[in-house]
Structures are given as C-alpha cells and as structure tokens.
Amino acid sequence: MSKSAAIILSRQCLRPSLSEPWVRKLSEAVGFVKREKLTLISSVGSRNWEIITACAVLNDVPLRLLLPVSGNSSFELLKSKIFRQFCLSASRVKFDRINSKSSSDPTHAQLASIRDETIIDQADILMPVSVRPGGNMSKLLSKSEADGKTIVREFETEYEKKKSKLAYQIDSSALSNKIKELEKSYLIHWTRATNSSWPDENKLEFYRSVFGSDKYRRTAFDTLRQILSGQSIMASSKNMPSNVKTVCFSALVPKEAIRLMKWRRRYNQMSFEPFGIGIERNYAIAHGIKEVRYYQPSQKKPIDGQDNWWWQSAGKKTDWRNEKEFRHKGDFDFSKVPEDKRLIFCHYKSQANFIKNQTGLRAMSFYN
C-alpha cells in the first residue's frame, strides 16, 4: 500500500489565480505527490480543501477523500455530488466518512475540526503550503512535527492576508455622456463577479480556470462574456417564491441603477456590477418577461403555488419596489432577440469595444 500525504493549506483569498504564490506552490506540491507515487488525503466542504482536491484531479493523483458528514444517507448523497462536481474516476478515489467520537449529531464546525485533525493524523507525510501563523492548521502542524511526523517544507510560502478590496463604488460624476443621456427603455439583466462556479459549470472547471491563468477568470466581465457566448441567461431559484427558477431584470436606466450597486458584506460580493444585457422593454414584455407585482408584507400573498414567481413582498426594511424588477420564468434564451433590440453595458470603454468587436452587438460603457 502506497504512503499517503496531506497538503496543509489555510483559508485563502476569495478569488485566486496563478498570480498568487500559494496557488503555484500548491500545484508544485501536487506534482511532488504524483512523482513520489503517493496517495493524497483531502476533503471538501471548505475552499482550501476543495482546491487541493481539484488540483489532484487535474493532475490524475490518487485520492482518499474524508467527507465531513454524519449518517449513511448524507454520506452517499455527498459522494454522488462530489463525483459530479469534480468529475472523479472511481478507480482513482476512495471515500471515508469522518466519525465524531464525542457527539452522535455533531455540528458543521465540529465536523470540520474533526476532518482537519483526522487528515493530519492519518497522513504519513505533511506538506505545508501556506499556513496562517497561530491558526488551527498551524497548531496541528506544530504538534505533528513535535510527534516526529515527516514534514516536507519544500513548497511552503509565507501566508499573506489578502489586502485588495473587492468592494467598489461607481462615481456618478464621471459617467459617460451616453450613459447619462440614455433614456430609451430597456429591461436590463445585471451581472456580477462570482466567488465560485458559474451556474452551468462544475467545481472542477472553476478550479481549472484558477490554475490556468494569472488573472481571476470569474469577474463580472467574464460572466457577461460567458452569457453572451452561450446566448442564454440561466435562471436561479435563490430567494425566489416557491423556489421557482427565474431570471431577473430591472427597468431602471443605468444612471438610476448605480445606487443599487452595493457591496454585500454578508455574501462577499456586489449586489450587481455595471455589466449587463439590455432588451428593449416592449420586445421583452412581449416575449415572456413579466413586471413584478408587489404586496405589503402584512398582507397574504395574492397567489399561491407555481404562479407566484412574479409576486414579491415590498419589504419591511428595504423597499424592493425601488428596483423596478421584472422576471422571466426559466432560462432566458436571447439567441433569437434581434440585435437592434439588445444593448450591452460594460464598466469601461475598452470592455465595450471588446464586446463590439467580438460579437458585433451594440455596447455602451459607464466610463469613457
């Protein structure tokens, strides 16, 4: 039976790329595991373990995955999900369930702590890459080293707390004249950067992009380009009535939409960004995009069941009517929308010019 190794990595930045030293060192460490014909012990459930798992799959390294779940049904469901998300080969992976010795119904945090301890305890070789000083991983590593476990420090790089800010604001005083003067009525689907996979891609593809570029490739501009490439906006059931999948649009003109482009600290992302696809209002309404109907939160929803996807509470703290929202039930295929009925919005003029050159579509920028 081959020896096993574990790569020790603390939680890192939200939007990684090859420009980060720890990403390059992680790739090198996985290469070492492959050359030495070791089995890599890893897991899922947090970004630091998932990127290790993905790197191993991309390099065809045999895996032993410890899953932080309790109960047989949860274990089997997560196994099935992980097979799909990471495109695993049954011959290259073995699954084990993490067992809690202290509780029959452990919390997520307890399972995560047990997972980290178990992986470090069961690996023959530990390979730190980027470990936060004083953190839990650092303490577990120090204890293992004191106990005489083999530590390979060849791939270790200094842990850096991410300094760059992801939040930003649109300077309304610097808007381009075209944005300021745009009065024609469009229904606009605004997009934003994502901190994980796009709705139509698995986690392996997301992490493949991380190891394939020195720039983060899931920005709002990347997302806009992806939508234009696929000629469809994928619907989401998140925060939607009865979990009906819809695509959201806004009737606000861009200069009015700026006030809604805010950083959402809770989700570590913008509400939306100055990148969007506009469809002429009359055309959009004629092709299944409905104006949201608002009701007071003290009132009962006017409609129950599958038809309530276009109803929305006006809100208690936030007045959602200010969004002037419209919705389309299901994915919105705009491949047949005439080009003269579309208008693409970008943050900068260079991005708008890129869209024009690549697609032939009309594009307008917030800044010159």
**Predicted model pTM:** 0.92
* pLDDT at res. 302: 61
* pLDDT at res. 329: 94
Same domain, 30 and 143: yes
> Which pLDDT band holds residue 1 (cuts at 50, 70, 90)?
low
Domain at 115, CATH number: 3.40.50.450
Bridge partners for 6 per DSSP: 126
Query: 193 near 270, Cβ under 8 Å?
Result: yes
Q: How far is CA 344 from CA 35, 126, 171, 218, 220, in A?
A: 48, 50, 20, 18, 13
Give the structural domain span for 125: 4-151
- Within a domain: 176: yes
- Within a domain: 46: yes
Same domain, 143 and 198: no
- Within a domain: 222: yes
Domain count, the chain: 2
Same domain, 224 and 97: no
Among 60-69, 307-316, 343-352, where is mean pLDDT lowest? 307-316
* pLDDT at res. 309: 86
HSE-CB of 170 using CA atoms within 13 angstroms: 25
Q: How far is CA 281 from CA 187, 258, 331, in A?
A: 5, 19, 18
Same domain, 144 and 182: no
pLDDT, tens only, 285-320: 999 999 998 888 777 666 655 578 888 887 777 777
Query: 172 near 255, Cβ under 8 Å?
Result: yes
Element housing 171 (H / E): none
pLDDT, tens only, 160-179: 887 668 999 999 999 999 99
Percent pLDDT > 70 in the chain is 95
Residue ending a domain, among 92, 116, 151, is 151
Q: How far is CA 250 from CA 11, 152, 191, 324, in A?
A: 36, 54, 11, 6
Evaluate if residue 103 carries a pLDDT over 60: no
How far apart CA 80 and CA 66 sit, in angstroms, is 14
Evaluate if residue 85 carries a pLDDT over 60: yes
- Within a domain: 15: yes
User: Which spans in the chain are helix H?
Assistant: 21-35, 47-58, 72-85, 108-122, 136-146, 177-181, 203-211, 220-230, 254-257, 281-286, 349-359
Same domain, 226 and 308: yes
- Within a domain: 305: yes
* pLDDT at res. 304: 59
Encoded tokens for 111: 């399972």
- Within a domain: 156: no
pLDDT, tens only, 188-225: 999 999 999 998 899 999 999 999 999 999 999 999 99
Mean pLDDT for the chain overall: 92
Residue ending a domain, among 151, 181, 214, is 151
pLDDT, tens only, 86-101: 999 999 999 998 876 6
Evaluate if residue 116 carries a pLDDT over 90: yes
- Within a domain: 157: no
- Within a domain: 56: yes
* pLDDT at res. 301: 64
Angle between helices 349-359 and 220-230 (to 10 degrees): 20
Same domain, 217 and 138: no
